[in-house]
Amino acid sequence: MFDAALRGLIDKVKSGSMDRRAFVQRMICIGITPPMATQILAIGGVATAAPPSTYKPTKCGGGGPLKMLWWQGPTLLNPHLATSMKDQDGSRLFYEPLACWDPDGNLQPVLAAEIPSIQNGGLAPDGKSATWKLKPGVKWHDGKPFTADDVVFNWEYAKDPDTAAATTATYRSTTVERIDDLTVRILFSKPTPFWADAFVGAPGAIIPKHLFADYRGNKSLKASNNLSPVGTGPYKFIEFKPGELVRGEINPQYHMTGRPYFDTIEMKGGGDAVSAARAVIQTGEYDFGSNIQVEDDVLLRIEKGSKGKSIRVAGADVEFIALNFTDPNTEADQERSKTKHPLLSDPAVRKAIALLVDRETIKKAIYGRAGNTTANFLNGPEQFVSKNTSWEFSIEKAAKLLDDAGWKPGSDGVREKDGRKFKLLFQSSTNGARQKTQAIIKHACQKAAIDVELKSVVASAFFSSDVANPDTYTRFNADIELLASLSTQPDPERRMRTFHSRYIPSEESKWQGFNIPRYASRDYDAVIDAAEVEIDPVKRAALFVKANDILWQDTVLIPVIHRMRVAACSNTLRPVISSWTTDIDNLHDWYREV
């Protein structure tokens, strides 16, 4: 599994002749981040020690209400059907995974009794299985016991192609078997270096078998509990108004001692990022606001002498432009994946558009403290970040590429070729920062004689999981679109396999695939397939760097800003935020310090 030198270091940690800190420092020297070093130790048989808890409350409840604001409200509450982070967040209020990621990128048990390792017998040395022991005594909110049968059912539910689950990529190549009531084993068909994917983090939250057994497959969208969750989490469901409001109340039988702290919770959706920031930081109407994508100078003004503050967490989030490889105007949706975009199928055209993205202006005018320019889609952890890419802003070079490709300015000043005008529909969600970014890019395109029509879709619709909504980002009924890819785990496998050809969204898949450019490349597929089975951490990192470089070389998308995750928080709230998962994956550890 490991080469001799790395195996020797791991053995030193196991024997006590080298401490963890020295091991992590040695890994940093060869480009491996602390979270990945911890994972290497776990795979190598060194149990992960939980960090000392900073949770101060000594009893369950008594914390009053927790009011949270998402300017993109969730539209359903089933983690397997959630196609956006807001829906994962809404689901995660009530449902739980076996484990979650802490702020340092370490796994912490939730429904599991412990984290699997070779040392405790949970991980197979050949990388082909992981055994999870479940926490005893956990009950669903309706009083039914949580058991291994629920875990096995979630695997069956998600891997069924007719369910069209957003999580199918995680479960399709695994087998999950029940060992006993409180033990499950995940079997992998091949060596699997990143075993902590299934049932981990917000996308790995588990739904109850007894309520969803009749809604597996093509009945998945008909389950009433998609809108009224019955979970195992610290808060029990009260009310849901899709796109507007989710409410819950304390679960007095919660399985973690002294938790939760708050008596009620509320997740309010709607409005925009600026109004959300003001409602938390300035007026104090809310305690927490997620994804505060606001121009930095605006945020600085809001923060002066206020009741709250902004908090920033660095991870691998990236703001990017997706380029449509298929024709969005094809009438038969199910045939769309077989079409070619009349403009963007030409690599020269895609490269010209990339040259028209003025990242430096976008950073200075919008992101400030919260972002850096990048040419990489994959921006972390550090060992996965390519040093081979670069970006450039040049209207002159873009114009020459288009001239050479046969796109010449017409009598009206707009480029044309073979009677077709060079016109692009550029869409994004309604958000001040994104509309400003769109405007900057449109201005450069106009100087290059490209006609760009801007479209902004209300965020609740753009990120909706409603398969009948034609304006979602996965339907991608435009030529280019601006959005973000947010971290849900420290390992890049889930993020990078997004662009594997098997995940192209279609009507048949209920638009659940995340390969929104509809990009199909045998070379890219082969690199991802190899990375998914490469046990050597250095070789595996090199494969993901290569995958990133293919996306850059083919101009599948245009990375714009490596974003920090920004949230708004009251001065008294003590949230636990990890850049490697959704904002509320550690909600059980939140409290207020008064």
CB distance 409 to 249 below 8 Å: no
Is-above-0.85 flag for pTM? no
Residue 48 DSSP one-character state: P
**What pLDDT score was predicted for residue 22?**
55
**What pLDDT score was predicted for residue 126?**
86
Residue 458 DSSP one-character state: -
**What pLDDT score was predicted for residue 16?**
56
Cα–Cα distance, 89 to 269 (Å, whole number): 12
Cα–Cα distance, 207 to 137 (Å, whole number): 17
DSSP string, 239-306: EEETTTEEEEEE-TT-SSTT----SEEEEEE-S-HHHHHIIIIIS-S-SEEE-----HHHHHHHHTT-
Cα–Cα distance, 108 to 110 (Å, whole number): 7
Q: Residues 536, 540, 541, CA angle at the centre, nearest 5°?
A: 120
3-state helix, strand, coil in the chain (%, to 5): 35, 20, 45
Please list the ranges in the chain whose pLDDT falls under 70. 1-7, 12-53, 331-335, 337, 509-512
In the structure encoding, which two tokens stand for residue 463, read together? 């990120």
**What pLDDT score was predicted for residue 39?**
58
Q: Is 56 exposed, middle or buried (0-12, 13-18, 19+ CB in 10 A)?
A: exposed
Which residues 6+ apart lie within 8 Å of 24 measured at CB?
Answer: 34, 37, 38
Cα–Cα distance, 461 to 474 (Å, whole number): 11
**What pLDDT score was predicted for residue 239?**
97
**What pLDDT score was predicted for residue 83?**
82
Give the amino acid at 361: T
Beta-bridged to residue 483, according to DSSP, are: 320
Distance spanning both ends of the chain, measured CA to CA: 50
Task: Please state the three-class secondary structure of 311-342 as a single string.
Answer: EEECCCCEEEEEECCCCCCCCCHHHHHHCCCC
In the structure encoding, which two tokens stand for residue 299, read together? 């945020």
Cα–Cα distance, 372 to 370 (Å, whole number): 7
| Helix (H) / strand (E) containing 132 | strand 129-133
Residue extents of the structural domains in the chain? 4-43, 318-490+557-563
In the structure encoding, which two tokens stand for residue 417, read together? 């070729």
The CATH T-level fold of domain 318-490+557-563 is: Dipeptide-binding Protein; domain 3 (3.10.105)
Cα–Cα distance, 169 to 515 (Å, whole number): 12
What angle, 0 to 180 degrees and rounded to 10, lies between the N-to-C axes of helices 537-553 and 522-531? 160
CB distance 37 to 23 below 8 Å: yes
| Helix (H) / strand (E) containing 437 | helix 432-447
Cα–Cα distance, 467 to 475 (Å, whole number): 9
| Helix (H) / strand (E) containing 480 | strand 480-485
CB distance 356 to 445 below 8 Å: yes
